[in-house]
Structures are given as C-alpha cells and as structure tokens.
C-alpha cells in the first residue's frame, strides 16, 4: 500500500470515528414549533410535440408522493398546457395567501428556457419558432415569484428541473443555454437542477438524475432543507463527473425539514466543532475524494464544509473532472472595476473567482468608527503561495487562499476557519468558528453566522467595484461580547477583501468599531522566489506592522 493510500485510510477511519461519536447528538436536536400548514404545486411536462421528455411526469408523481408523506397538501399537474399552468400557479399563490403561515413548495420538471435574463417554463402546447414566441407561449417564472411575494408566507421552496437541452426540436435554436441566474426573493430557496447557463440530461432511468437524488435526501429525518440540496448537489456532481452541478440561491431566514424538526441544539455545537476541527486538520491535505465526500455529506453546512468543498474541487480537478460553471448573474449596471492586469487593462467579468498571485500589493487604511479618525495604514505584498497558505511581505504574515487569517507578525495564530470562502452567491449562509491564540499563549474562541446579504456597487479610494456584501453576527465565547462584521468582496476581480466594518457590543452598547478599506491595489510583477515551507514560529521575523484584520 502506498503512503498516499495509507494516509487516506487513516483519515477515513478517523473521520468515521469522529462522526460516529457525534451521531447520537444529531438525533437529539430540538425540533422547532410545527408549521401552520404545508402546500405544494407539482408539475411534470414531458409530452412536447417537438422534443418530448421521458421522465418529467414520473418525476412529478414521485415528488408529489414524497411531499404528501411529509404532510403537504399537493396539487399535481402533468403535461399541462399554458392556461392550465398559469391557473395552477395563481391558485397556488392564492392558497398560500389564505394560509400565510404555511410553507410552500413549487416543483417543475420539463423544458425551460431563458430570454433576456428572464426564465420561462414551457407548457406542452407551446410551438416556439422564433424568440418572440418564448414570452408569448411560455410561462414566466416571474409570475410564480410575484404570486409568492403577494402571499407573504414565511418560507417557500422553488425547484426547477427545467434545463434540458434544445427544447424546440428542429424548429428553432437559441444561443442561451439553460436558465438564467436569479436572486431568490425574501424567504425563498430557489433550486436549479444544474448551474445557470447549463443543461441537464433527462436521464435514462426511472427518474432524472437530479430528482432521483432529491427523492432520496428528502427522506432524511431532521435534515435542514439547505443540507438536503447540498447533498443532492454533491451526489449529482459525482454521478455526472461534473457535467451537471445543481445550483441554489437562498434568502431563507428560518429552518425547515421535510421530515421531523431541523432545530439546532446549542449544547452540541462545541463538541461538534472540536471533532470537526480535528478531522479537518487531517483532511486539509487529502489527495483522494472519498474522505472529503464523507465529511461534506455528514456536515454539509458545517464549520469546515466550504473549505472541504474547495479541497474536493482541487482533488477532482487533478483527476480530470471538468465541471460546468454557472453563468454570471445579470450585471448591476455598466460594469466598473479597478484594473487588475499588469498592463493596466480592466478584465472582463467572467463569473470565475480570482486567486492570490505573487507580487500583488494591497494597501489598507483603518478608521476608528467611534472617533472617526484614521488610526493606521498598512501595505501587504503577496510574497509566495505554499500549499493552502499565502505569505506576505517577509513571510511573517500568513493567510489562507481566501484571505482568512493564519498567522500575524506578532505571533498571533488562528485555527482554520471559513469567514471568507471560495464560492459566493446571494443569500448563501454558512457558519464559522475558530480559536485565536495570542502571543502570550492565551486563547479566544469566536463564532459567527455568515451570509451574503447583497450585491452592490462600492466606491473606495482604490476604485469602484461590483461586490458582494457579507454580513456576520457572532460573539466572543469567553466574554460574551456581541460581534458584528460587514465585509465587501469582489472575488472575480481580486481575492483580497475590499473593506470590512467591525463592531463589538457589550450589553447592547457599542464599545469598539473600526472600518478597514482598500486604498490602493497593484497586480505587480511576480517575484522569482523558490517555493519553501513557512518558517517555524520561533524563527519568524516580526515586522511590527499592524495586521489589518483582527477578529
């Protein structure tokens, strides 16, 4: 057995032991109060004249049955023409409005297309021969979202298995594949069978690949709905070898499970964190996908799940996977950015995230929000990248590949954590927890709940950026101080954070606050420096400069 396989076996055994230790705790999670009602509309369209589909009707019947088992009042429609589809959607919205504390689920399997950033479901009587026919004969997903908005119920799931290739047969072809990316309305999780701008196969089995896995995960007792879709995404990706990767946009505020309660038991969080931290410290250099997949399936919304997902991406890429990528969202307006290329030209938006590069230079200023005075300026230049660490200046400052702190020049250290992540999407939520070890050896534990709260344009001294706004709420586990963080990132432009505002409260009173913002950025010329492992802590040079981001 090779050293790599021996290490993978040890990781798998330790992971199994760690997760088994915590399994009884998961069963004891407290259930939330029961919802007032559950209402669902399920549609499966397959009997198209030009491009018939095999699975949608069977998929819809199976989903309807699973929802009935979960206590939903279900309306099922198969092979619906346009008028019937529109009436069913309006009736669904009216039912939710009458019982406006209900949970709503809308499921559609069939052909769907995009046109000018709008998504359309196609009824079976549609005859599309030109672009104008799409809006005239299709059913705009906006009709559904408007109905949900008027209902004002607290939680809705919209599931669109509607990304089949070439729904028009020989009559007409469109240049836009799949569905367009949409931002989920308030209180809604919007799920696509594959990433925006891509298509999914109808499948050759009893059900389509996406619905087959969704049916399986919906049965898991107590599984939070966001975990359900994360597990589905992983299973579909692996089964399709990256050719189909489901996608979600969420703005959910509450918890929901198809079967049983999905409430969180705070008493088990610390034990879970300690076990997951120990496991992740072994998995972070894993070279095989299996232990990473097991870890993600067990903790799809865990405090290291985003880091594990990125590691899995790297492992699968080395094994030849060529995953599909989501098409970018609609622009906020005329695109604006600072130049990031060495020649000073702005890069076009690609929808793909950038990475730290040797020679990049970030200059920040820090402002005390209470005194409204500038307190510090710092410049950090990326020296080199070693494994999953980024070294700055003389190597005494270290972050991970996403900008999370690892080590500061004064000797302060952080355990691995996921405040900044690889893959941002509007509405996405994730937890993080870490331990800070001070130079004198004392430790501080910090926990945050993080979410992407918006997409907005931000103007800084360094330029104007189309960015994601990240909001985090947490607390110091020792003192109980409430911590608030708001950060802005433009990961498709540059990996470093654009700005961050930090507030600390005690007893409801703000006791400290600061804003760190980017004043200058340069791509620089990558230095020719041989890669080497970071020096041991005792040998690090202390440059005395302030570490701009401290939690």
| Cβ pair 164, 85 in contact under 8 A | no
Confidence of residue 128 (pLDDT cuts 50, 70, 90): confident
Q: What predicted TM-score, i.e. pTM, was given to this entire model?
A: 0.81
Start-end of H helices in 218-352:
225-240, 269-283, 289-298, 305-318
DSSP-assigned beta bridge partners for residue 464: 459
The pLDDT, as a whole number, for residue 5 is 43
Domains of the chain, earliest start first: 3-27+267-318 (no CATH), 38-250 (3.40.50.1460), 361-539 (2.40.360.20)
The per-residue DSSP string of 160-180 comes to EE---S-TTTTS---SS-S--
Confidence of residue 100 (pLDDT cuts 50, 70, 90): confident
Give the C-alpha distances (Å, rounded to integers) separating 547 from 379, 399, 406, 515. 10, 11, 11, 13
Residues 334-381 have pLDDT tens digits of 443 333 333 333 333 345 788 999 999 999 999 999 999 999 999 999
The pLDDT, as a whole number, for residue 535 is 40
| Cβ pair 107, 113 in contact under 8 A | no
Give the C-alpha distances (Å, rounded to integers) separating 524 from 1, 339, 356, 393. 45, 12, 12, 13
| Cβ pair 106, 156 in contact under 8 A | yes
Long-range contacts of 484-491 (CB under 8 A, 24+ apart): 485/419, 485/448, 485/551, 487/419, 487/420, 488/456, 488/458, 489/420, 489/424, 490/337, 490/465, 490/466, 491/353, 491/354, 491/422, 491/424
């Amino acid at each position: 057995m090779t050293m790599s396989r021996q290490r993978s076996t040890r990781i798998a055994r330790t992971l199994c032991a760690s997760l088994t230790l915590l399994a009884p705790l998961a069963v004891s999670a407290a259930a939330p109060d029961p919802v007032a009602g559950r209402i669902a509309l399920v549609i499966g369209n397959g009997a198209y004249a030009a491009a018939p589909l095999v699975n949608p009707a069977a998929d819809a019947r199976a989903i309807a049955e699973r929802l009935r088992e979960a206590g939903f009042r279900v309306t099922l429609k198969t092979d619906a023409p346009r008028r019937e589809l529109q009436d069913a959607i309006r009736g669904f919205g009216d039912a939710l409005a009458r019982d406006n504390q209900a949970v709503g689920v809308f499921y559609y399997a069939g052909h769907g297309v995009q046109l000018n950033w709008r998504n359309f479901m196609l009824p079976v009587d549609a005859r599309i021969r030109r672009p104008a026919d799409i809006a005239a004969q299709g059913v705009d997903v906006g009709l559904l979202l408007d109905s949900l908005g008027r209902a004002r119920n607290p939680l809705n799931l919209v599931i669109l298995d509607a990304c089949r290739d070439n729904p028009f047969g020989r009559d007409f072809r469109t240049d836009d594949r799949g569905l367009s990316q949409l931002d989920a309305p308030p209180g809604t999780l919007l799920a696509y069978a594959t990433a925006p701008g891509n298509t999914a196969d109808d499948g050759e089995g009893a059900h389509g690949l996406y619905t087959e896995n969704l049916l399986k995960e919906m049965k898991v007792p107590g599984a939070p709905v966001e975990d359900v879709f994360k597990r589905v995404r992983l299973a579909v990706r692996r089964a399709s070898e990256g050719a189909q990767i489901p996608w979600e946009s969420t703005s959910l505020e509450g918890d929901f499970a198809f079967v049983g309660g999905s409430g969180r038991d705070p008493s088990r969080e610390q034990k879970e964190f300690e076990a997951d931290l120990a496991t992740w410290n072994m998995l972070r250099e894993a070279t095989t996908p299996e232990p990473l997949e097991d870890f993600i399936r067990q903790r799809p919304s865990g405090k290291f799940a985003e880091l594990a997902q990125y590691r899995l991406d790297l492992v699968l890429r080395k094994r030849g996977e060529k995953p599909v990528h989501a098409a970018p969202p609609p622009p906020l307006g005329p695109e604006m950015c600072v130049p990031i290329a060495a020649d000073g030209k702005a890069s076009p938006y690609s929808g793909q995230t950038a990475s730290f590069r040797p020679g990049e230079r970030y200059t920040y200023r820090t402002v005390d929000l209470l005194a409204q005075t500038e307190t510090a300026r710092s410049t950090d230049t990326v020296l080199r990248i070693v494994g999953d660490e980024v070294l700055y200046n003389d190597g005494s400052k270290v972050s991970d590949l996403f900008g999370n702190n690892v080590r500061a020049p004064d000797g302060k250290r952080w355990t691995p954590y996921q405040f900044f992540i690889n893959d941002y999407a509007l509405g996405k939520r994730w937890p993080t927890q870490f331990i800070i070890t001070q130079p004198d050896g004392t430790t501080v534990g910090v926990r945050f709940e993080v979410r992407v709260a918006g997409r907005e344009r931000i103007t800084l001294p360094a330029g104007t950026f189309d960015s994601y706004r990240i909001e985090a709420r947490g607390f110091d586990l020792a003192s109980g101080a409430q911590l608030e963080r708001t950060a802005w990132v433009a990961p498709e432009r540059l990996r470093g954070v654009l700005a961050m505002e930090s507030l600390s409260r005690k007893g409801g009173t703000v006791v400290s606050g600061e804003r760190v913002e980017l004043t200058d950025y340069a791509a620089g010329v990558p230095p020719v420096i041989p890669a080497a492992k970071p020096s041991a802590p005792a040998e690090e040079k202390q440059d005395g400069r302030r570490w701009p981001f401290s939690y």
